[in-house]
Structure 1
C-alpha cells in the first residue's frame, strides 16, 4: 500500500529530521569526548599526575616494571636520533624503507646471580715433556695437573691446563636468554607502562626451552608517545539507530537499531533489528552493507546501507532493504 502525499511528506521530514539530529548528536558527543581526552592527555604530558598514576610510572624492580615517561612524538624522535650509533645503520635503513614510526624506547639493566651445583670435573697429571738429547737435566719441578669442569646444563666449561700457573685458564659460557616485554595502557587515559623480564633458559630437547634463573631488574626506562586519536580505529564496532525501508510494503518505514561489526575504510557490514510496530512482516532482522560518507575528511555520522530484511512473519521471507543510520556510539 502506497502512502498518501501528505503521509509521504511527513515520513520524509521524519527521516531527514532524525538523520540531521543523529548527525548533530554524534558530532556533539564525539567532539566533547575528544576535548575531554585531549585535556587529560595535556595534564599527563605536563607531569601533573595523580598518586595512582605516579605509582604506575615509577620504577618497581620487584614487579619488573620500568620507569615510564609520556612525551610528545617530536621529543621521542629526538631521543631516538640521539641514541643511534653506527651499529644501527642497517636497522635504520630497514625502518625508513618500511616507513616505520617510533612509538616507544626501552632500556633495561638486569642483574643475574647464579650458583652451580653438580656437573662434571676432571683432573689429571700431565706427563713431563721429553728432554731433548744433549740438553742438561732440568731440576725437579712440581707435577703439572690439568683441570676441566662442565656444569650439568652444559653452559659453563672451564679448562685449566696447569692449576699451578695463573692466567692460563679458559672459561667458556654458552647461555640462552628469554626476554619478555609487556606494554599496558590506561583504559581511560594516555599513560602506559612496560614490564620487562629476563630469564635464562636451556633447550629441553623438544624444541622448547626450560627456564633456569630469573634475572632481577636493576633499572629500566620506558619513554613513549601516545597522543589521543581523533578518530576511532577502523575496526571498532559502531552502534547505530536505523531507519529502514523495503518499499511497496504495508508500512514504508521501519525503525530499529544495528551494529556495524566489520569496517574497511568507508564501507562495512552491519546487522540489527527493526520494526514498523504494526505487523510481523514489518518486524525482523536486518543485514546490510554500509557506506559512511565524509566531508573534508570528517565523517558525518550518517551511514547508508543496502541489504535484506528478514520478516518474522508474512508471505515473503526475504525483503530488499535500504537503510539510513546514524551513529550513536
Structure 2
C-alpha cells in the first residue's frame, strides 16, 4: 500500500506540474498572440490603410471641432517637431530636456471668432475749444472737436476717439478671456487617435468662475501623434476577477511534504494579491482541504511572470489541528 500511495502522489505531482507548465505556456502564448495582433493592426494603420470608419475619425470636421489627425512613427514626429521650433521655444526646450519629457503629439488650430455687440455704454460730448491768443481766429461751433467713447456691457471692448472729425487718433482697447478645451481620444482596440479642440470666450465672474460668452468656429487644425502599441497593457493598480492557478503547497510538521491542487486569485494590487483554493496530498483528510493565502507575482524586465509565490493558511478536512500554516508555489494557467 505504501508503494501504491507513493505512486499516486508521484502521478498527481506530475499531472499538476505538467498542467502548470502547459498552462503557463498557453498563458504567455496568448499574450504573445495578442501582442502580434496589435502590432499588425498598428502597421496597417501606420501605412494609411484605413477603413471608412477610421478615415472619418482622422478627417477634419469643423462642425464637431475635430482636427485632421495623422499617425506617424516616433522618429517622424520628432523631426516634425524640431522643424517647427523657433528661438522663442528655447526656454521650453531646455525645460523639456531637463525633465526628460517625451514628445507624444503636436497640434495646431486656426479659429474664426465673429461677434456682434448689442448694448453697451457710449458718450459723446463737445470738447471746449482751447483758449485762443489775441489775433487768432475763433473756431466756429460746427468745427469744434467732439469726443466719443464706447464700452460694451461685458467690459471687453473700450473705444476712445478724441475727435470724431480727425482720422487716426482712435484708441481701441480689448480685454478678453478665452478658455481652450482639448480632448484626445483613442480607439479602444487600435492605435488611431483624434483631438477635439475648442476655443470659447468667457467672462470672469469672480472666485475662479467664468461664464461662457461665445465659441469660435474651427477653421483648420492638425494633430500629429505617435502611438505604437506597447508589448503589454499597463497593469491596473487594482485588478478584480479570478486568475486560475495550479498550486503546489506545503505546511510545517505534516506527514506529507507536498500537497497539489488548484486555486484562483480574486484580487490583485500591483504584484500582491489574495487567493483561495483546494489542495490535497491524496493520502488523508488531514492532508486535504481549503487554502487561503496572499500572493506575490515577481516580474522580469517589467513583465509579470506566470509564477506566483504565496503564503497563508491551510484548513484540513480532518485531524486535530484545524488550521495549518501554508506556503505555496503557483503556476498561472489563465
Same fold, TM exceeding 0.5? yes
Deviation larger for 151-160 or 240-249: 240-249
Shift of 1:322: 2.0
Mapping for residues 252-271 of structure 1, pairs under 5 Å: 252-259=259-266, 261-263=268-270, 268-271=271-274
Q: Check if 1:241 corresponds to 2:244.
A: yes
**Structure-2 change in CA distance of 1:109 and 1:9 (3 Å):** same
Q: Secondary structure at the match of 2:259?
A: coil
- Report SS of the residue matched to 2:163: coil
Tell me how far 1:232 sits from its aligned partner.
2.5
The Cα of 1:317 is off from its aligned counterpart by 6.0
- 2:109 corresponds to: 108
Q: Runs of 5+ in structure 2 lacking a partner?
A: none
- Report if the CA contact (8 A) 1:179-1:196 is conserved: yes
Residue 303 (structure 1) aligned to one of 293, 301, 307: 307
Q: Give CA-to-partner distance per residue, 1:89-147, whole Å, 9 cap, x none.
A: 11100110111111110111111111111111111111111123x45234526121111
Do the aligned partners of 2:316 and 2:322 also contact (CA within 8 Å) in 1? no
Q: Deviations over 1:202-247 (max 9, x none)?
A: 1112321111101111111100001111123143748532225252
TM-score by length of 2: 0.86
Quote the residue 2:226 is aligned against: 225
Corresponding residue of 1:289: 295
Q: Which residue does 1:90 correspond to in 2?
A: 91
Q: 1:74 maps to what in 2?
A: 75
Give a deviation string over 1:62-83, Cα, whole Å, max 9, x none: 0011110000000000000001
Structure 1's unaligned 5+ residue stretches are none
Q: Does 1:194 align with 2:195?
A: yes
The one-character-per-residue Cα deviations of 1:155-214 (angstroms, maximum 9, x if unpaired) are 111111111111111111101111111111111111111111110011112321111101
Q: Is the contact made by 2:187 and 2:193 (CA closer than 8 Å) also made in structure 1?
A: yes
Counterpart in the other structure of 1:272: 275
Q: What SS does the corresponding residue of 1:282 show, helix, strand or coil?
A: strand
After superposition, the Cα gap between the structure-2 partners of 1:121 and 1:310, relative to the gap in structure 1 and judged at 3 Å, is farther
Structure 1: distance between partners of 2:323 and 2:89: 64
Who is 2:125 aligned against?
124
Quote the residue 2:158 is aligned against.
Answer: 157
Residue in 2 aligned with 1:325?
Answer: 331
CA distance 1:300–1:98, shift in 2 (3 Å): closer
Q: 1:175 to 1:252 in 2, by over 3 A?
A: same
Go from structure 1 to structure 2 and tell me whether the alpha carbon gap of 1:77 and 1:249 turns closer, same or farther (over 3 Å shift): farther
Distance in 1, Cα, partners of 2:27 & 2:200 = 49
Give the direction of change, closer, same or farther, for the CA distance of 1:258–1:70 in structure 2 (3 Å limit).
same
Across the aligned residues of Structure 1 and Structure 2, the Cα RMSD in angstroms comes to: 2.9
For residue 204 of structure 1, give the secondary structure of its aligned residue in structure 2. Answer: strand
